[in-house]
Amino acid sequence: METSASLLEGGPLAAKIKQEVKTEIEEMVRAHGVRPGLAAVRVGDDPASAVYVANKIKACEEVGIRSEHHALPESTTTAELLDLIASLNSRDDVDGILTQLPLPAGIEERAIIEALDPAKDVDGFHPVNVGNLALGRPSLVPCTPAGIIELLVQNDVEIRGARACVVGRSQIVGRPMAQLLLQRDATVTICHSRTRDLPSVTREADLLIVAIGRTGMIRGEHIKPGATVIDVGMNKVTDADQIRELFGSGAGKRLDVLSKRGFTLVGDVHPAEAAEVAGRLTPVPGGVGLLTVAMLMKNTLLAAKLRRKISS
């Protein structure tokens, strides 16, 4: 697989962010006797959610955030979960609360998100924080879009004046991503499942950010030569022939992963075709996902500082 794209690795920046958070927390403990606290709430037995929460708890240990994990059974009701949220809202030693999504079908997700104290909403999903972001006011910002901005800035990717295209309009990535790009003076287009002639729109973009949850959907024809492509997707692929199609001559390592784990992770961007056209490209895994957890640590620290009126 011939490549022109250089990889925008998330690992080094994630490590840098976590080290900065750790240093600030050590200073906060020394100067104020305060250690930030994060409460992670998980409902049910979804394996992916269990892994995500475990990774977040591990990151807390690495940076010095006190963490607690509330693992609730699948049978938990909306009322029971609301009671837990109310309890965590009232505790002064809890600075951040995250409820791992998706929640089981019987729980009203919107009611849970809206019940969070906005000052402790480290995922940035509460309507107050969404509104503050839309108005350009300081707020807790969703972790994945915030991490992408950090990745672009740290790698000197020009945002001001750039044509940016966001494929996907979720509240978790697509919409907040567009807001953050607008605030940095990009010209932003949002595409989605109803966009007509998608390749003609995405090919205009200097900066293409893809978060749609469809394996390898964005192909070479969608990408402007030399563009920076950020792949937010994280999809499991279990078919060897599909892996060969996606990775071409570079499929060997992924086939090894398939034989060991039973799957390999692939983003929403076709890796072989994108690598031939893009100027810069995030890998999957090893790209955006690592930054999401690092930014959660940064948000928890920020929430602790804002709640306690501790200046930087």
Give me the active site residues, please.
56, 100, 123
Question: How far, in Å, CA of 168 to CA of 145, rounded?
Answer: 12
Cβ partners under 8 Å of residue 39, min gap 6: 67, 68, 70, 88, 94, 96, 97, 98
End-to-end C-alpha distance for the chain, whole angstroms: 47
Shortest CA distance to 269 belongs to which of 288, 256, 252, 253? 288
Shortest CA distance to 73 belongs to which of 45, 106, 111, 107? 45
Q: Strand 96-99 and strand 66-72: pairing?
A: unpaired
Evaluate whether 4 touches 277 at the Cβ level (below 8 Å).
yes
Tally of CB atoms within 10 A around 253: 11
Shortest CA distance to 122 belongs to which of 293, 308, 311? 293
Burial of 223 (0-12, 13-18, 19+ CB in 10 A): buried
Shortest CA distance to 232 belongs to which of 219, 246, 245, 215? 215
